[in-house]
Structure 1
Amino acid sequence: MSYGPQKPTARKNRAAGNQEPTSRAEDIRSRRAQRSQEQINKVTARVALPPPVRPVTVRNTGRGSLSGRETRQPVGTRARRQFYLTMDRAAGTEVRLPAIPMIRPGWRLASAFLALVMVIGIYSMWNSPFLQVEMVEVKGIQRLNPDEIAAKLNLEILMIIEVNPVQAEAELASAYPELINVRVSVGMPNAVTVSAEERQPVLAVQQGDQVNWVDASGVLFPARGDAGPLVTILAEDGLPLAPAPPVESQPAAEEAASNEEDRSASEIVKKTVPVTGPVMVDPTVLAALEGLGKLLPPETQLVYSMQDGLGWQ
């Protein structure tokens, strides 16, 4: 039996045996790669297409239904915002982040915020020393002392928003009848200005130790300051006065007292005092006095009494 021809066949079998394990390993690697790709595709599909939201149905069993069947009304639900962060696409790992709440302020929140800002602003203005009256500027006054008028108003204890110009004008007109055209103006942040004119006296009336002046219109007012040389009338009983017209009482601040610093500002503003008209001398007597004053020498002393009437010394 010859073995020569069989040697090439054995070599072929050994070569085929060496190739079989190589193809099996490749098959295993291809299957693993296919499974990994399928898992990645599933994860990608899950991220791209979130699960559908199941609608909520409401059962309507009211009397308005004629057929008596249950009707379902879909109620839309708002899906919360979700974020996915892929860590490794080959490994298929992912991290789900928490949802971020959406803040949507409504009109109630805006109204509450505006109300809070207004309350804080009013409180700051009411208690701010920047708005407190520091000084009162007086204009148009020559004989009177401006500091005396400012002290009479006593506005330094008030805030600028508490100053009432009408009440201040009425108070000055009542306390100083020699002032006319009184105007009180208020300016921000803490400016108060008083402007007025003074009556010009033409006669001086001496009654005991008290001296009053009379202007050309017959208004009798206290002598304050220096008015120069005037015709003086000695009237122990006083001059006859003209009937004063009725004047309604107007709101004004109460007269300053020694303990006024202890009272609140609102209490001072709310007080009212009657405002009377100016005291007028009888026009007939005033005309006679002016006529005698022009005819007699300047050093002549005029005298008036209820018993003897008008004369001179």
Structure 2
Amino acid sequence: MSEKREISRAETARQRRAERTKNELEQTSRRAVKPVMPVTSRVTQSYVVPKPRRKAKNSRRFSAIFGVSDIQMRRAGIRLPRVQASWRLTSSLIAVLLGIVIYLVLTLPYFHVPSATVLGNNRLSREEIDAVLGVTGQSIFTVQPHELATRLQMNYPELLSVEVNVYLPNHVYVTVSEREPLILWQQDNGYTWIDSAGVAFRPRGVAEGLVPVIGLNAPPAGLAPAEGSLIPQSYMQEDLVKAILVLAPTVPVDSMMIFDPSFGLGWTDSRGWQAFFGTGMQDMPLKIRVYQSLVDSLVERGIAPEFISVAYPDAPYYRMSKDQSSESTDIGQ
């Protein structure tokens, strides 16, 4: 009886241990698969929404019975730091690059003008024009064509027109047109050239076919140019220039045309008198015909006057010298 009791007690102890181990395993399994209870936060929800994580590509999953349902192992990747350039940094870089470019274009000899190319000049030399321009060795980007053209016309009134063109990398072309002199005006031991517009300018070289005129005084000036115009002030009226050109073929070979402010254009005839025709161009051909008729009449009658004026062709007159007998000076008498 005692042995049965002892066996019964041992078995009972083993059974109890087995049941307790079984219960512990069951509790452990239930805890592992038991869902996690949701947690309610008492903090106010933030407006910043976290970005969802992207699932790593080519990830490998490993399942194991370690009390966790799923374990993910991701492949390690290399991430470069992100550089965020601000607008201030970008504008600073642009300003530095522009400064470098400006410095290079202003200092590189490749963009420096060796000398200006002058076209159309005849009497005015290239060296004289280049000296006024002052562009030799200057950067092509600092050359101002309008300013150069103005400078040339202000220094050389004999230039009728000036055109300045600039081309990369270092070319400056200057095209000029010179005034053609028609009159050699002599006054007060000096002389100047005058063109068809009455503009006076410095004589250069030799010009053929000029009409020489001796001025006893300054001629009447032409109209003032418009404000801001580069055309120089005319030394004499354009009408007077035309009158000189029309009268020039009538001047005797051994005489020279003169200008008197009181009587106009004329000359001293070798036969002993002075002849004057005024300054008007409109009736100058008629004045010449009247003068020739009057001279023929006086020579035929043997009259040698001291002064003849046909400034008014409808009322010409002549004057005798004081030591000659008094005669009528009106051609109509």
On the 8 A contact 1:218/1:280 being kept in 2, the answer is yes
Q: Does 1:75 align with 2:50?
A: yes
Q: Take 1:97 and 1:118, find their aligned partners in 2: how far apart are those partners?
A: 44
> Which ranges of structure 2 fall in alignment gaps of 5 or more residues?
1-40, 57-74, 269-333
| 1:163-207 per-position Cα deviation (integer Å, ceiling 9, x unaligned) | 111111111111111112210111111111110111111111012
| Residue in structure 1 matching 2:238, options 276, 283, 287 | 283
CA root-mean-square deviation: 3.1
Compared with structure 1, are the counterparts of its residues 125 and 277 closer, same or farther at alpha carbon in structure 2 (3 Å cutoff)? Answer: same
Match of 2:282 in 1: none
- Which has the greater radius of gyration? 2
On the 8 A contact 2:149/2:162 being kept in 1, the answer is yes
Question: What is the correspondence of 1:61-100 to structure 2 with a 5 Å cutoff?
Answer: 70-71=44-45, 75-76=50-51, 99-100=78-79
On the 8 A contact 1:177/1:278 being kept in 2, the answer is no
| Residue in structure 2 matching 1:136, options 92, 116, 119 | 116
Question: What is the correspondence of 1:225-236 to structure 2 with a 5 Å cutoff?
Answer: 225-236=205-216
| Residue in structure 2 matching 1:188, options 146, 151, 168 | 168
The total of aligned residue pairs comes to: 207
Q: Which amino acid aligns with 2:182?
A: V
Match of 2:128 in 1: 148
Compared with structure 1, are the counterparts of its residues 296 and 134 closer, same or farther at alpha carbon in structure 2 (3 Å cutoff)? Answer: same
- Same amino acid, percent of matched pairs: 29
On the 8 A contact 1:180/1:199 being kept in 2, the answer is yes
Match of 1:36 in 2: none
What is the TM-score of this pair, normalised by structure 2? 0.54
On the 8 A contact 2:197/2:234 being kept in 1, the answer is no
Q: Does 1:303 align with 2:258?
A: yes
Instruction: Tell me by how many angstroms 1:151 deviates.
Output: 0.3
Instruction: Tell me by how many angstroms 1:99 deviates.
Output: 4.6
> Which ranges of structure 1 fall in alignment gaps of 5 or more residues?
1-58, 60-67, 82-95, 250-274
SS state at 2:136 partner: coil
On the 8 A contact 1:244/1:280 being kept in 2, the answer is no
Instruction: Tell me by how many angstroms 1:305 deviates.
Output: 3.1
What is the TM-score of this pair, normalised by structure 1? 0.57
Match of 2:328 in 1: none
Q: Which amino acid aligns with 1:306?
A: P
Q: Take 1:119 and 1:71, find their aligned partners in 2: how far apart are those partners?
A: 52
Q: Take 2:90 and 2:223, find their aligned partners in 1: how far apart are those partners?
A: 64
Match of 2:80 in 1: 101
SS state at 1:116 partner: helix
| Residue in structure 2 matching 1:238, options 218, 238, 244 | 218
Q: Does 1:165 align with 2:165?
A: no
On the 8 A contact 2:251/2:257 being kept in 1, the answer is no
Compared with structure 1, are the counterparts of its residues 197 and 122 closer, same or farther at alpha carbon in structure 2 (3 Å cutoff)? Answer: same
On the 8 A contact 1:247/1:276 being kept in 2, the answer is no
Q: Take 2:254 and 2:159, find their aligned partners in 1: how far apart are those partners?
A: 29
Structure richer in strand, relative to its length: 1
| Residue in structure 1 matching 2:201, options 215, 221, 224 | 221
Q: Which amino acid aligns with 2:106?
A: W
Instruction: Tell me by how many angstroms 1:224 deviates.
Output: 1.9
On the 8 A contact 1:143/1:227 being kept in 2, the answer is no
